[in-house]
Structure 1
């Protein structure tokens, strides 16, 4: 899952993992930042990115045929660029080497819900466009999911089933 804050990524991961009877990896960045007793730093975002890579590698080792990631490296790369105007080159290489069948890009067309970690409710459309540009830059297969919760879920299932059908042939 990728997309701006409060765009339904966690909801979709939870619902889709139930639908496909598989696992999902929760958003590590949220947990990490919530536990800080200070403002996050560039180094913190690097730690988050490395943990996301570890989660990816662990998921591959587990051998699940479908795994959902709630927030992943594209978001972290944009976070680096948006907040710090720079991104570690190793992250670019890591993203480039990923083997992900489908990115679901969540549209910010649902209400933004403030919480203790979210900070970009006012620029969700801008961030959405940046995520889309990154997915296209890397040539990744992606699909946009939008609408209210149930229609968003149905759309996501349609996109995933299309990928599953292609891989079975």
Structure 2
């Protein structure tokens, strides 16, 4: 199984591309539970709420991993949730920091797309760039070297698909 995680700030196409590419490439999709939480419960992301989001997202991932798909595309993971904690609470949470980030390939979406208010997104302008730096730092602290995805929507899709297909080919060649 190749486990790919899409990460980056809000409004960069992660969710849309995760869904499109999981369908196009025949992979399983783990949607972002944080978005579902925000849309159904609200955006008061207390420390306990963020820990619960991380735990529920992890539970949902484990259920899909148990089905043993060849390709698993995850729309954000603990890296993003830990970065949200840092943005909102100005410190790194030891509980979230201890949760493993275990995708085989991380695609980091650049904030070079227009920010769109949707009722759940919070970080606009300079805060958006600060959030990107927090995510980059969280990845670095975890020893993760992501593939940067940038440009217009077509370029993003092409870059993400190329990275995934390359990783799948490498995995197959090693099998």
Please give the TM-score of this superposition, normalised by the length of structure 1. 0.90
Unaligned runs of 5+ in 1: none
How many residue pairs get matched?
167
Counterpart of 1:106 in structure 2 is 109
Counterpart of 1:93 in structure 2 is 98
Counterpart of 2:153 in structure 1 is 149
1:43-62 map, 5 Å: 43-62=48-67
1:133 aligns with 2:137: yes
- 1:117 and 1:84 map into 2 onto residues whose CA distance is 18
TM-align CA RMSD: 1.7
Unaligned runs of 5+ in 2: 1-5
Report how far residue 124 of structure 1 moved. 1.8
Counterpart of 2:121 in structure 1 is 118
Cα 1:31–1:154 change in 2 (3 A) is: same
SS in 1 for 2:8: coil
- 1:94 and 1:73 map into 2 onto residues whose CA distance is 7
- 2:43 and 2:165 map into 1 onto residues whose CA distance is 43
Report how far residue 105 of structure 1 moved. 0.4
Higher normalized strand content (fraction of residues): 2
- 2:137 and 2:43 map into 1 onto residues whose CA distance is 32
1:20-59 map, 5 Å: 20-36=25-41, 39-59=44-64
Report how far residue 38 of structure 1 moved. 7.5
Please give the TM-score of this superposition, normalised by the length of structure 2. 0.87
